[in-house]
Protein backbone atom coordinates (compact mmCIF):
# COMPACT_ATOMS: atom_id res chain seq x y z
CA UNK A 1 0.00 0.00 0.00
CA UNK A 2 1.64 3.27 -1.06
CA UNK A 3 1.90 6.47 0.93
CA UNK A 4 1.54 4.77 4.29
CA UNK A 5 3.79 5.70 7.18
CA UNK A 6 4.43 3.26 9.98
CA UNK A 7 6.37 4.81 12.83
CA UNK A 8 6.54 3.80 16.47
CA UNK A 9 3.81 5.54 18.41
CA UNK A 10 4.26 7.45 21.65
CA UNK A 11 3.66 5.84 24.98
CA UNK A 12 0.17 5.82 26.44
CA UNK A 13 1.05 8.69 28.75
CA UNK A 14 1.96 10.96 25.85
CA UNK A 15 -0.48 9.93 23.12
CA UNK A 16 -1.86 12.93 21.28
CA UNK A 17 -5.37 12.81 19.79
CA UNK A 18 -5.15 11.45 16.26
CA UNK A 19 -1.66 10.08 16.83
CA UNK A 20 -2.43 6.94 18.83
CA UNK A 21 -0.38 3.92 17.69
CA UNK A 22 -2.43 1.43 15.69
CA UNK A 23 0.16 -1.24 14.79
CA UNK A 24 -0.13 -3.69 13.09
CA UNK A 25 -2.33 -1.37 11.01
CA UNK A 26 -0.66 1.40 9.03
CA UNK A 27 -2.48 4.62 8.30
CA UNK A 28 -2.36 6.54 5.04
CA UNK A 29 -1.31 9.75 6.74
CA UNK A 30 -1.46 12.00 3.67
CA UNK A 31 -4.99 10.98 2.68
CA UNK A 32 -7.43 13.62 3.91
CA UNK A 33 -10.68 12.69 2.16
CA UNK A 34 -11.20 9.79 4.59
CA UNK A 35 -9.23 7.63 7.00
CA UNK A 36 -7.59 4.60 5.38
CA UNK A 37 -5.72 1.83 7.20
CA UNK A 38 -3.82 -1.14 5.83
CA UNK A 39 -3.18 -4.42 7.62
CA UNK A 40 -0.38 -6.33 5.86
CA UNK A 41 -1.39 -9.98 5.68
CA UNK A 42 -1.04 -13.09 3.58
CA UNK A 43 -3.96 -13.93 1.30
CA UNK A 44 -4.99 -16.68 1.67
CA UNK A 45 -4.34 -15.82 5.29
CA UNK A 46 -2.12 -17.80 7.59
CA UNK A 47 -4.27 -19.35 10.31
CA UNK A 48 -2.90 -17.25 13.18
CA UNK A 49 -3.33 -14.06 11.16
CA UNK A 50 -6.87 -15.12 10.32
CA UNK A 51 -7.74 -15.74 13.96
CA UNK A 52 -6.28 -12.37 14.96
CA UNK A 53 -8.25 -10.55 12.25
CA UNK A 54 -11.49 -12.30 13.22
CA UNK A 55 -11.06 -11.28 16.85
CA UNK A 56 -10.18 -7.72 15.83
CA UNK A 57 -13.29 -7.42 13.64
CA UNK A 58 -15.47 -8.82 16.40
CA UNK A 59 -14.12 -6.32 18.94
CA UNK A 60 -14.35 -3.45 16.47
CA UNK A 61 -17.99 -4.19 15.68
CA UNK A 62 -18.79 -4.43 19.40
CA UNK A 63 -17.56 -0.88 19.86
CA UNK A 64 -19.10 0.59 16.73
CA UNK A 65 -22.41 -1.24 16.41
CA UNK A 66 -23.35 -2.30 19.93
CA UNK A 67 -25.88 0.52 20.32
CA UNK A 68 -27.78 -0.49 17.17
CA UNK A 69 -26.86 2.63 15.19
CA UNK A 70 -24.89 0.51 12.71
CA UNK A 71 -25.39 -3.00 11.40
CA UNK A 72 -23.04 -5.47 9.74
CA UNK A 73 -23.48 -6.46 6.09
CA UNK A 74 -21.20 -9.15 4.65
CA UNK A 75 -20.24 -9.99 1.07
CA UNK A 76 -17.96 -12.63 -0.42
CA UNK A 77 -16.44 -12.86 -3.89
CA UNK A 78 -17.31 -15.94 -5.93
CA UNK A 79 -13.68 -16.37 -7.01
CA UNK A 80 -12.60 -16.52 -3.36
CA UNK A 81 -15.11 -19.29 -2.60
CA UNK A 82 -13.91 -21.62 -5.33
CA UNK A 83 -12.47 -24.16 -4.79
CA UNK A 84 -11.43 -24.15 -1.11
CA UNK A 85 -14.71 -22.89 0.41
CA UNK A 86 -17.14 -24.16 -2.22
CA UNK A 87 -18.44 -27.02 -0.10
CA UNK A 88 -18.94 -24.77 2.95
CA UNK A 89 -20.77 -22.24 0.78
CA UNK A 90 -23.15 -24.85 -0.61
CA UNK A 91 -23.84 -26.47 2.75
CA UNK A 92 -24.71 -23.16 4.43
CA UNK A 93 -26.69 -21.62 1.57
CA UNK A 94 -30.09 -22.39 3.10
CA UNK A 95 -28.97 -20.87 6.41
CA UNK A 96 -27.30 -17.73 5.04
CA UNK A 97 -29.41 -17.06 1.92
CA UNK A 98 -26.62 -15.63 -0.27
CA UNK A 99 -27.91 -13.20 -2.92
CA UNK A 100 -25.83 -12.93 -6.07
CA UNK A 101 -24.77 -9.53 -7.35
CA UNK A 102 -21.80 -7.87 -9.00
CA UNK A 103 -18.66 -6.36 -7.51
CA UNK A 104 -16.80 -3.73 -9.47
CA UNK A 105 -13.38 -2.20 -9.61
CA UNK A 106 -13.62 1.44 -10.76
CA UNK A 107 -14.50 1.57 -14.45
CA UNK A 108 -14.64 -2.21 -14.86
CA UNK A 109 -17.00 -3.63 -17.49
CA UNK A 110 -20.13 -5.54 -16.62
CA UNK A 111 -19.40 -9.26 -16.06
CA UNK A 112 -20.61 -11.18 -19.07
CA UNK A 113 -20.82 -14.68 -20.46
CA UNK A 114 -17.52 -16.14 -21.76
CA UNK A 115 -16.50 -15.07 -25.26
CA UNK A 116 -16.80 -17.61 -28.05
CA UNK A 117 -13.07 -17.59 -28.77
CA UNK A 118 -12.36 -18.49 -25.15
CA UNK A 119 -14.80 -21.37 -24.99
CA UNK A 120 -13.71 -22.66 -28.38
CA UNK A 121 -10.06 -22.68 -27.35
CA UNK A 122 -11.00 -24.68 -24.26
CA UNK A 123 -13.17 -27.03 -26.28
CA UNK A 124 -10.32 -27.68 -28.71
CA UNK A 125 -8.02 -28.25 -25.73
CA UNK A 126 -5.77 -25.41 -26.84
CA UNK A 127 -5.81 -24.00 -23.33
CA UNK A 128 -6.84 -25.49 -19.99
CA UNK A 129 -10.21 -24.69 -18.46
CA UNK A 130 -9.98 -22.38 -15.46
CA UNK A 131 -13.19 -21.43 -13.70
CA UNK A 132 -11.94 -18.46 -11.68
CA UNK A 133 -11.71 -15.96 -14.57
CA UNK A 134 -15.39 -16.57 -15.28
CA UNK A 135 -16.29 -15.88 -11.65
CA UNK A 136 -14.55 -12.51 -11.49
CA UNK A 137 -16.96 -9.69 -10.69
CA UNK A 138 -19.61 -11.99 -9.20
CA UNK A 139 -20.21 -11.82 -5.46
CA UNK A 140 -22.77 -12.77 -2.84
CA UNK A 141 -24.47 -10.79 -0.09
CA UNK A 142 -25.57 -12.76 2.96
CA UNK A 143 -29.21 -11.84 3.33
CA UNK A 144 -29.67 -13.76 6.58
CA UNK A 145 -27.42 -12.28 9.25
CA UNK A 146 -24.94 -14.45 11.12
CA UNK A 147 -21.74 -12.38 10.96
CA UNK A 148 -19.64 -14.42 13.36
CA UNK A 149 -20.26 -17.72 11.60
CA UNK A 150 -20.00 -16.22 8.12
CA UNK A 151 -16.68 -14.56 8.90
CA UNK A 152 -15.34 -17.75 10.46
CA UNK A 153 -16.19 -19.69 7.31
CA UNK A 154 -15.14 -17.28 4.57
CA UNK A 155 -12.72 -14.67 5.93
CA UNK A 156 -9.09 -15.12 4.99
CA UNK A 157 -9.41 -16.35 1.39
CA UNK A 158 -9.07 -12.88 -0.12
CA UNK A 159 -12.66 -12.08 -1.03
CA UNK A 160 -14.69 -10.82 1.92
CA UNK A 161 -16.01 -7.30 2.38
CA UNK A 162 -17.73 -6.00 5.49
CA UNK A 163 -19.83 -2.85 5.50
CA UNK A 164 -21.18 -1.18 8.61
CA UNK A 165 -24.33 0.63 7.53
CA UNK A 166 -27.06 2.63 9.20
CA UNK A 167 -30.24 0.59 9.68
CA UNK A 168 -33.02 1.60 7.34
CA UNK A 169 -36.36 1.95 9.21
CA UNK A 170 -38.18 1.41 5.92
CA UNK A 171 -36.49 -2.00 5.58
CA UNK A 172 -37.74 -3.33 8.91
CA UNK A 173 -40.42 -6.00 8.70
CA UNK A 174 -43.66 -5.11 10.51
CA UNK A 175 -44.62 -7.28 13.48
CA UNK A 176 -46.20 -10.54 12.40
CA UNK A 177 -49.77 -10.65 13.70
CA UNK A 178 -51.49 -13.98 13.13
CA UNK A 179 -55.07 -14.39 14.41
CA UNK A 180 -55.40 -17.05 17.08
CA UNK A 181 -57.76 -19.06 14.89
CA UNK A 182 -55.22 -19.19 12.08
CA UNK A 183 -52.44 -20.19 14.49
CA UNK A 184 -54.48 -23.22 15.53
CA UNK A 185 -55.10 -24.37 11.99
CA UNK A 186 -53.06 -27.50 11.11
CA UNK A 187 -51.94 -26.01 7.78
CA UNK A 188 -50.48 -22.94 9.50
CA UNK A 189 -48.87 -25.01 12.25
CA UNK A 190 -47.24 -27.27 9.67
CA UNK A 191 -45.95 -24.26 7.71
CA UNK A 192 -44.68 -22.54 10.87
CA UNK A 193 -42.75 -25.67 11.85
CA UNK A 194 -41.17 -26.00 8.43
CA UNK A 195 -40.40 -22.35 7.74
CA UNK A 196 -39.12 -19.41 9.76
CA UNK A 197 -41.95 -17.09 8.75
CA UNK A 198 -40.80 -14.02 10.76
CA UNK A 199 -37.27 -14.57 9.43
CA UNK A 200 -38.53 -14.74 5.85
CA UNK A 201 -40.44 -11.50 6.27
CA UNK A 202 -37.37 -9.87 7.81
CA UNK A 203 -35.22 -10.96 4.87
CA UNK A 204 -37.77 -9.67 2.36
CA UNK A 205 -37.74 -6.31 4.10
CA UNK A 206 -33.94 -6.26 4.35
CA UNK A 207 -33.68 -6.64 0.58
CA UNK A 208 -35.29 -3.19 0.30
CA UNK A 209 -32.51 -1.49 2.28
CA UNK A 210 -31.43 1.92 1.08
CA UNK A 211 -27.72 1.07 1.16
CA UNK A 212 -28.31 -1.56 -1.55
CA UNK A 213 -30.10 0.91 -3.80
CA UNK A 214 -27.39 3.51 -3.32
CA UNK A 215 -24.63 1.01 -4.09
CA UNK A 216 -26.33 0.10 -7.36
CA UNK A 217 -26.82 3.74 -8.31
CA UNK A 218 -23.29 4.90 -7.49
CA UNK A 219 -21.15 1.92 -8.43
CA UNK A 220 -23.20 0.64 -11.35
CA UNK A 221 -22.85 3.87 -13.34
CA UNK A 222 -22.55 3.16 -17.05
CA UNK A 223 -24.41 -0.12 -16.77
CA UNK A 224 -27.91 1.38 -16.59
CA UNK A 225 -28.91 0.36 -20.12
CA UNK A 226 -27.99 -3.29 -19.64
CA UNK A 227 -30.61 -5.88 -18.82
CA UNK A 228 -28.37 -7.40 -16.16
CA UNK A 229 -28.32 -4.09 -14.28
CA UNK A 230 -32.08 -3.99 -13.98
CA UNK A 231 -32.13 -7.24 -12.03
CA UNK A 232 -29.37 -6.32 -9.59
CA UNK A 233 -30.04 -5.55 -5.94
CA UNK A 234 -26.59 -4.03 -5.41
CA UNK A 235 -23.15 -3.35 -6.87
CA UNK A 236 -20.30 -3.83 -4.40
CA UNK A 237 -17.27 -1.53 -4.79
CA UNK A 238 -14.14 -3.64 -5.15
CA UNK A 239 -11.52 -1.01 -4.35
CA UNK A 240 -7.81 -1.18 -3.65
CA UNK A 241 -5.77 1.40 -1.73
CA UNK A 242 -4.87 3.42 -4.84
CA UNK A 243 -8.55 4.00 -5.62
CA UNK A 244 -8.97 6.04 -2.45
CA UNK A 245 -6.22 8.37 -3.71
CA UNK A 246 -6.99 8.40 -7.42
CA UNK A 247 -10.78 8.44 -7.70
CA UNK A 248 -12.64 11.76 -7.76
CA UNK A 249 -13.46 12.87 -4.23
CA UNK A 250 -17.16 12.70 -5.07
CA UNK A 251 -16.92 8.94 -5.64
CA UNK A 252 -15.24 8.45 -2.27
CA UNK A 253 -18.07 10.46 -0.69
CA UNK A 254 -20.53 8.12 -2.39
CA UNK A 255 -18.88 5.14 -0.70
CA UNK A 256 -19.57 6.69 2.68
CA UNK A 257 -23.15 7.46 1.74
CA UNK A 258 -23.52 3.71 1.33
CA UNK A 259 -21.67 2.73 4.51
CA UNK A 260 -19.97 4.25 7.54
CA UNK A 261 -17.14 1.72 7.58
CA UNK A 262 -15.63 -0.27 4.71
CA UNK A 263 -13.42 -3.29 5.44
CA UNK A 264 -12.18 -5.50 2.61
CA UNK A 265 -9.61 -8.15 1.87
CA UNK A 266 -7.46 -6.74 -0.93
CA UNK A 267 -5.18 -9.23 -2.70
CA UNK A 268 -3.63 -6.44 -4.82
CA UNK A 269 -2.59 -4.65 -1.60
CA UNK A 270 -1.46 -7.89 0.02
CA UNK A 271 -3.63 -7.31 3.05
CA UNK A 272 -6.78 -5.82 4.50
CA UNK A 273 -8.10 -2.28 3.99
CA UNK A 274 -10.21 -0.42 6.54
CA UNK A 275 -11.73 2.92 5.52
CA UNK A 276 -13.92 5.36 7.42
CA UNK A 277 -15.27 8.81 6.68
CA UNK A 278 -15.05 9.65 10.40
CA UNK A 279 -12.05 9.56 12.77
CA UNK A 280 -11.63 6.01 13.96
CA UNK A 281 -8.00 5.87 15.05
CA UNK A 282 -8.73 5.97 18.81
CA UNK A 283 -11.06 2.99 18.47
CA UNK A 284 -8.57 0.96 16.43
CA UNK A 285 -5.90 1.85 19.01
CA UNK A 286 -8.19 0.73 21.84
CA UNK A 287 -8.93 -2.62 20.18
CA UNK A 288 -5.37 -3.55 19.21
CA UNK A 289 -4.05 -2.40 22.59
CA UNK A 290 -6.57 -4.46 24.53
CA UNK A 291 -5.82 -7.48 22.35
CA UNK A 292 -2.08 -7.05 22.86
CA UNK A 293 -2.52 -6.80 26.62
CA UNK A 294 -4.50 -10.05 26.49
CA UNK A 295 -1.61 -11.73 24.68
CA UNK A 296 -3.10 -11.60 21.16
CA UNK A 297 -0.30 -10.27 18.97
CA UNK A 298 -0.63 -10.11 15.20
CA UNK A 299 1.87 -12.60 13.72
CA UNK A 300 4.25 -11.22 11.09
CA UNK A 301 4.12 -12.75 7.66
CA UNK A 302 6.69 -15.53 7.21
Residues 146-199 have pLDDT tens digits of: 999 999 999 999 999 999 999 988 877 666 656 666 566 676 566 656 666 666
Q: How many CB atoms lie within 10 A of CB 1?
A: 20
Q: In what order do the strands lie in the sheet with 261-266?
A: 26-27, 35-40, 271-276, 261-266, 160-165, 71-77, 138-142, 98-104, 235-237
Residues 53-63 have pLDDT tens digits of: 999 999 999 99
Backbone conformation region of residue 97, classed left if phi is above 0, alpha if psi is from -120 to 50, else beta: left
- In the predicted model, what is the mean pLDDT of residues 14-20? 70
- In the predicted model, what is the mean pLDDT of residues 96-115? 89
pLDDT at position 8 is 42
Cα gap 67→269, rounded to integer Å? 32
Cα gap 72→48, rounded to integer Å? 24
Residue 12 has pLDDT above 50, yes or no: no
Backbone conformation region of residue 209, classed left if phi is above 0, alpha if psi is from -120 to 50, else beta: beta
Residue 6 has pLDDT above 60, yes or no: no
Give the pTM.
0.85
Choose the weakest-confidence range: 18-22, 190-194, 231-235, 247-251. 190-194
Q: Whole-number mean pLDDT of the chain?
A: 87
pLDDT at position 7 is 42
Residue 105 has pLDDT above 50, yes or no: yes
- In the predicted model, what is the mean pLDDT of residues 237-260? 97
Q: How many CB atoms lie within 10 A of CB 144?
A: 18
Q: What percent of the chain has pLDDT over 90?
A: 68
- The H-or-E segment that residue 292 falls in is helix 281-293
pLDDT at position 128 is 65
- What is the pLDDT confidence band of residue 132, given thresholds at 50, 70 and 90? low
Amino acid sequence: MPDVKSTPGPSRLTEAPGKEPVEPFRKAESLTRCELYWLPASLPAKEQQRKWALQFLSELVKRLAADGRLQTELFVEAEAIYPDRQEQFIQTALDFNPVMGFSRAPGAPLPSIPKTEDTEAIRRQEKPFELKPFLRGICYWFLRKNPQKQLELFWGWGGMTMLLVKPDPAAQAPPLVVPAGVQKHPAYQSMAQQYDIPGMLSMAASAQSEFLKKSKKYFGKGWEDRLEYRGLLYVLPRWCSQDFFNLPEEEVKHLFEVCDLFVTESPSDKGVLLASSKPIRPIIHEVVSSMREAGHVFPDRP
